[in-house]
Structure 1
Amino acid sequence: MLERLILCLIAVRVAQVTARDCGNPGEILNGYYMADATTLGSKTTFYCDQGYRLVGSDYRLCTADGWDGQVPTCEIVECSRPVTPAHAYVERGFGHKYKYQQEVVFRCNEGFEMIGASVIKCSENNIFVPSPPICRLPVNCGDPEEILNGYYEANHNLGSKVIYHCNEGYKLIGNDSRLCTATGWSGEVPTCKTEFPPINILKEMIAVVCQVVIKEENMIKAKYQLLESEREILKLKENLLKKMEQYVDENNL
């Protein structure tokens, strides 16, 4: 009789355990959970929203006594104060601890130029992104090399461009521009080579040919006029001889 009673109690207990439903595993502020089921043996996994980190176990198991453990918490991500670059200062965002997405704005001291981003943000990885900028004295590449039979237009500061041009009658060979980089002017100086034939020489040749043609025309005109004059002189001579002969005949000379 006692054995039957024990077996009955065990059967009831097993039935209770088998039908166990742990219910809601617990809400998490600034986060959420995912659970396939809430019955005995099931697992609930907890997650935090972007910009928050999980404190505690990220899961709970449904046991015969209910959900084990405690609901974890989600704390906002914090970043330590970034190092201020040399020759720079913090314009906005003073503090020692910074929460997720908080900004720090840097400015360079007068006379220095900034390389990189002036605004950095506290990221979900507990670090500021991008990295703090660098402040340094401006790079001056100085005068670029001269170009024979040409000229250039340039600004000497970092990132500026020099543009090369050739004089009239010359053709540029190579790249027509160079950049001022941290290590100086990029590339090589192009060259200016004579065009064939050069435009200026061609113009001079055309002008000379025109002058020759005009002079030849004038000479032809002058020769024609001289020929006409010679004909007129010849006619005058003939008329003069006729008159002299007539005069001699009439006067019996």
Structure 2
Amino acid sequence: MHQTMHFQLCGIWILITLSNGQNTVTCTENGWSPPLKCIRIKTCSKNDIEIKNGFLSESDFIYNLNKVTQYKCKPGYVTEDGNTSGSITCLQDGWSAQPSCVKSCDMPAFENAKTKSNATWFKLNDKLDYECNVGFENRFKRAKGSIVCQDNGWSHIPTCYERECRIPKMGKFLMADPKKDKYKVGDLLKFSCRSGLTRVGPDSVQCYHFGWSPDIPICKGEYLSFCCKYDD
């Protein structure tokens, strides 16, 4: 039968085992009697682990066997499973895992746009697709786009702008009203021909997100033919 006692020396736990059921030891000229068997209990140290973009949240420097401790990620970073903190355990062969914190981007605020993604955070290099609202386009003049989570945040702000139609190319005899440099989606443009000419096509067109519709009319003239007779 063994008697076990614990002593704490310099912050490190030592397990001392006594033989034959004794609970005392005696110092003799030949050493301790009975002999002692000392086993150092496994501990883990802060120096044994380095958390990239994170840190152990507890102030202890030495952690006993089976001790569970928390770690946190720096702002803008998350654990591999998307949390801002996690836990590791001191095991016989060291820490249970090598935690890491990865760069993250939160779901951005969309302006005149939307996304089908239900995610709340994104890892570095993740891509997020978005679609502009009807009648709007992004800075690349497209109705759809994507942004990428980078080291300094999203590659750009997912903003869409109201689409515009420019005044269409018209013949010199066709007049438009109202005449502006730009037209918003939904605006109407009415046409008329100069005196003596006839309009062929619609009297108005509308600005849509894809451009003007229907096609722009044209003006045609009516000419009289004369046959001249000369006297000899």
TM-score computed with the length of structure 2 as normaliser: 0.46
Bigger radius of gyration, 1 or 2?
1
TM-score computed with the length of structure 1 as normaliser: 0.43
> More helix per residue: 1 or 2?
1
